[in-house]
Amino acid sequence: MRKKKDMLWYLLFVLPLTLVFINVVIVPFFMGIGYSFFSWDGMPLNPKIFVGLDNYLKLFRDQRFLTSAGHTLYYTVLAVVIINILGFSFALIVTSKLKLRNLGRTMLFMPYLIGGLILGYIWKFIFSDMLRSVGEMTGLTHIFFNWLTDPDLALVAIVIVSTWQMAGYVMIIYITGIQSIPEDVIEAGKVDGAGFWHLLLHIKLPMIMQSITICLFLTLSMSFKIFDVNFSLTGGGPNNATEMFAMNIYNEIFSLNNYGYGQAKAMIFFLSVAVITLVQVAITKKREVSM
C-alpha cells in the first residue's frame, strides 16, 4: 500500500513534465523528420510535395551550407580549447589559498548569467564603438578597429564573447573535480618531491577526468549549437563569413521559407552533433580514474 501511494505521488509530479517534454521536444522532432522528405514553404494551405531524399542529397551541393559547416568546426575547435583551458586555470586559482578566491568565483561566474542575445548586443557595442574609439585615441587603428567588419576577425570576436561567457561556468565544474581529489594524495605527492607541474599532469588531471568529460561534452555541444551570440553579434556577417550551422538553418527556414530543406539540414546537424559528442564521451570515459 505504501509503495502504491509513493508511486502515485511520483506520477503526480513526473507526468505533467513528461507530457510537456513529449509535446515540446519529442513530437516536433519526429514531425521535423517527416517534413525533411518534403518540399514545403511552411504555409499551411500550400501543398507539401514529397521529394524523398532529394533534400538530403542537395545538402552536399549547397556551398553556403558547407561553408557554414567549416565556420562551425573552426569556431568549435577554438572555443572548446580556449574555454576549457581558461576555465581550468580559473579553477586552479580560486581553489588556492588566495584571500579573494570566493569573490573571484562569483565575478568569473557572473557572465554566464547574462543571456546570449543580450551578451551579443553588449559586445557588439564594444567591438564596433569602443574599439574604434580606442584606435582613434591611440593611433593604433590597425589593432583597435571594428572587428565585426573584418571577415577573419569577426569569427574570432564570437570566440572571445563565448569564452567570456562560458569559462566561468566550466570553472565551477572543474572546481568540483579538484575539490574531490583526496588531500592525502596531494600531500603524498608533495612528500615524494612532486612539483606543481608534476602534481598537475600526473595527479590532478587524471583524477578530474570525470569533470573534463562533462566540460568537453558541454562546450562541444554548446559550440556546435551556438545561435544567440551569432545572431545578435554579427548576424552571420560580414558577407556570411560568420554564418554557422544553426544560423544557416534559421535563415533557410525563416528567411527563405524552405521548411522541408531546412528540416533536412537540421536532421544532419542533429546527427553530426550527436555522433561527435558521443565519440568524445566514449574516448574521455576510458581515461577516467575511480577514486
CATH of the domain at 140: 1.10.3720.10
Residue 28: inside a domain, yes or no? no
Whether 291 shows a pLDDT value over 60: the answer reads no
Residue 26: inside a domain, yes or no? no
Q: What cell does 8 get? A: 502515485
Q: Is 290 exposed, middle or buried (0-12, 13-18, 19+ CB in 10 A)?
A: exposed
Do 148 and 234 meet the contact criterion of CB atoms below 8 Å apart? yes
Highest mean pLDDT pick, 146-150, 273-277, 283-287: 273-277
Q: Give the integer Cα–Cα distance in Å for 265 and 269.
A: 6
Residue 92: inside a domain, yes or no? yes
- What's the sign of the alpha-carbon dihedral 63, 64, 65, 71? positive
Long-range interactions of 278-286: CB distance < 8 A, separation 24+? 280/216, 280/217, 280/220, 281/213, 281/217, 284/209, 284/212, 284/213, 284/216, 285/213
* Mean local confidence (pLDDT), 183-198: 80
CB atoms within 10 A of CB 83: 27
Residue 215: inside a domain, yes or no? yes
Residue 51: inside a domain, yes or no? no
CB atoms within 10 A of CB 195: 9
Residue 50: inside a domain, yes or no? no
Share of the chain above pLDDT 70, in %: 98
Predicted TM-score (pTM) above 0.85: yes
Provide the pLDDT confidence category of residue 5 given band limits of 50, 70 and 90: confident
Q: Is the peptide bond before 238 cis (omega within 30 degrees of 0)?
A: yes
Average of per-residue pLDDT values in the chain: 87
Residue 13: inside a domain, yes or no? no
Provide the pLDDT confidence category of residue 47 given band limits of 50, 70 and 90: confident
Residue 15: inside a domain, yes or no? no
* pLDDT for position 12: 79
- How many distinct structural domains can be found in the chain? 1
Q: Residue 77 sits in which domain range?
A: 73-285
Whether 72 shows a pLDDT value over 90: the answer reads yes
* pLDDT for position 78: 94
